[in-house]
């Protein structure tokens, strides 16, 4: 009898011990695979997992930048029984039903980079302050015009998809500050769908449709590279500048060729790192309604809808591109 009781107690102790040290599975979901920005974010997520020790990051995403493709990925993760999902959304509203289902099953949800509507997540991590991102993009365009020795000129925006949450917010903020920059004449907003080939074709179309175009601003890390290549291929270096948000490793050639004078971005490695810490904080139950942990990035202050900003964007140009292109 004592032996049987001892075996039962041992089994309970082992079960409790295993439960206490159970691995936390966090899915980091990209808008699409094969995108350098999200690959860099995964590097940061894996760094966070290593620091935390009991966390496994599952990096995944669709091959196309559509909500439908992400929904399919999310259903698979729900069936798999992950503990948390950290997603950069292709659509703010279309993903809400499937993410609601995830939360109903106890899965914690963080959106990062490109947000999900509040009903479909618990925390949203914006890379930076939206107003500042908008203003920096416009200031970069104004600086480019001055480099061309002109105070006025036509400017076009090359965005990702028409439904991309963060792109639309930033473009909205850009338009708000345009009155402060009277030399900028915004002629149109084009959409490359975060695809290199389409972004390239859209840029070529912009250059032909607007022969007096001076600057193309792309808040898409895919679009800015494609636009710079198109400007180079069309023989427009020195006549048209490309700026916006991009990765130093992917934009180094554009800066050196003269297709781009300067651009900005936050560190996607830090972004993936912070999103992983936030998801873990929710799983562990240590996040509050006003604050959550981002590890070495500090504490994220949350508003009433669970939104928080990580850090200010940084400007890259010929003076620092070599240094940072080796990092991300």
Residue-wise pLDDT for 299-320, tens only, equals 999 999 999 999 889 999 999 9
Q: What is the pLDDT of residue 4?
A: 52
Distance, C-alpha 147 to centroid of its chain: 29
Portion of the chain with pLDDT greater than 90, in percent: 90
pLDDT at 120 over 70: yes
pLDDT at 35 over 60: yes
Write down the pTM of the prediction. Answer: 0.82
pLDDT at 171 over 90: yes
Beta-strand relationship, 24-29 and 108-112: unpaired
Give the 3-state DSSP-derived string for 234-291, with helices as H, strands as E and coil as C. Answer: CCCCCCCEEEEECCHHHHHHHHHHCCCCEEEECCHHHHHHHHHHHHHHHHHCCCCCCE
Q: Which CATH class is domain 20-127+268-311?
A: alpha beta
CATH architecture observed for domain 130-265: 3-Layer(aba) Sandwich (3.40)
Which band of pLDDT confidence, cut at 50, 70 and 90, is reported for residue 42? very high
Please give the average per-residue pLDDT across 188-206, as a whole number: 98
pLDDT at 2 over 80: no
Residue-wise pLDDT for 238-269, tens only, equals 999 999 999 999 999 999 999 999 999 999 99
Please give the average per-residue pLDDT across 39-52, as a whole number: 97
Residue-wise pLDDT for 59-110, tens only, equals 999 999 999 999 999 999 999 999 999 999 999 999 999 999 999 999 999 9
Average pLDDT over the chain reads 93
Which band of pLDDT confidence, cut at 50, 70 and 90, is reported for residue 150? confident
Whole-Å CA distances, 49 to 28, 37, 72 = 11, 19, 25
Report yes or no: 230 and 259 within 8 Å, Cβ to Cβ. Answer: no
Q: Describe the crossing of helices 221-233 and 196-209 by its angle, rounded to 10 degrees.
A: 50
Q: What is the pLDDT of residue 6?
A: 52
Q: What is the pLDDT of residue 312?
A: 84
Q: Where in the chain is the domain with CATH 3.40.50.2300?
A: 20-127+268-311, 130-265
Which band of pLDDT confidence, cut at 50, 70 and 90, is reported for residue 18? very low
Q: What is the pLDDT of residue 327?
A: 84
């Amino acid at each position: 009898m004592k032996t049987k009781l001892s075996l039962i107690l041992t089994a309970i102790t082992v079960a409790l011990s295993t439960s206490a040290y159970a691995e936390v599975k966090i899915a980091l979901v990209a808008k699409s695979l094969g995108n350098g920005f999200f690959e860099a974010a995964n590097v940061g997520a894996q760094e966070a997992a290593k620091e935390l020790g009991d966390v496994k990051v599952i990096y995944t995403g669709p091959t196309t930048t559509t909500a439908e493709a992400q929904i399919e990925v999310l259903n698979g993760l729900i069936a798999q029984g992950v503990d948390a999902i950290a997603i950069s959304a292709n659509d703010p509203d279309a993903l809400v039903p499937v993410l609601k289902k995830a939360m109903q099953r106890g899965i914690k949800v963080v959106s990062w980079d490109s947000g999900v509507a509040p009903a479909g997540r618990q925390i949203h991590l914006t890379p930076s302050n939206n107003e500042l991102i908008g203003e920096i993009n416009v200031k970069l365009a104004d600086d480019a015009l001055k480099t061309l020795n002109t105070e006025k000129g036509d400017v076009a925006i090359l965005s990702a998809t028409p439904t991309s949450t963060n792109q639309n917010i930033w473009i909205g903020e850009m338009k708000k500050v345009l009155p402060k920059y009277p030399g900028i004449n915004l002629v149109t907003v084009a959409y490359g769908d975060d695809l290199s080939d389409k972004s390239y074709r859209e840029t070529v179309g912009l250059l032909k449709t607007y022969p007096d175009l001076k600057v193309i601003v792309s808040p898409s890390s895919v679009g800015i590279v494609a636009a710079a290549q198109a400007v180079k291929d069309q023989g427009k270096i020195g006549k048209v500048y490309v700026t916006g948000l991009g990765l130093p490793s992917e934009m180094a050639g554009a800066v050196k060729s003269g297709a781009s004078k300067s651009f900005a971005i936050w560190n996607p490695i830090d972004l993936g790192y912070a999103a992983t810490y936030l998801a873990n904080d929710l799983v562990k139950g240590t996040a509050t309604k006003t604050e959550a942990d981002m590890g070495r990035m500090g504490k994220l202050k949350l508003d009433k809808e669970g939104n928080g900003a990580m850090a200010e964007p940084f400007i890259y140009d010929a003076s620092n591109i070599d240094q940072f292109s080796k990092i991300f």
